[in-house]
Amino acid sequence: MHTNSPSIPADVAAHVLFHYGHDGGYQAGSFTTSLLTTIGMADPSNMDRLAAGFPEYVAAVTAIQYDPDGVARLEAIARGEVAA
């Protein structure tokens, strides 16, 4: 699985929060919504492939799925309180 931690921009954090039903986000366009669904379902090998083209989205989805503090972190990024 992809282990680098690229910076997560506020808009990416907001898209991921919305996609996973959390406060503080807003809906992305149709391509990005499909991308988020794909990243969420990817196995480690395909996650690495997706990270090559969309590292910020993969980092944000990984945070929300696997990091116990991921939601709070993404909310803070989306609010502009911290940089990822």
Give the alpha-carbon dihedral of 29, 69, 81, 39, to 10 degrees.
Answer: -20
Mean pLDDT of 1-29: 88
How far, in Å, CA of 7 to CA of 81, rounded? 14
The type of residue at 82 is: V
Average pLDDT over the chain, rounded to an integer: 93
pTM above 0.85, yes or no: yes
Locate the domains of the chain by residue range: 10-78
Residue 82: per-residue pLDDT: 83
Which long-range contacts (C-beta less than 8 Å, at least 24 apart) are formed by 65-71? Answer: 65/40, 71/17, 71/20, 71/22
- Does residue 2 carry a pLDDT above 60? no
| pLDDT tens digits along 42-82 | 999 999 999 999 999 999 999 999 999 999 999 999 999 98
CB 59 within 8 A of CB 47: no
Whole-angstrom distance, CA of residue 78 vs CA of residue 43: 27
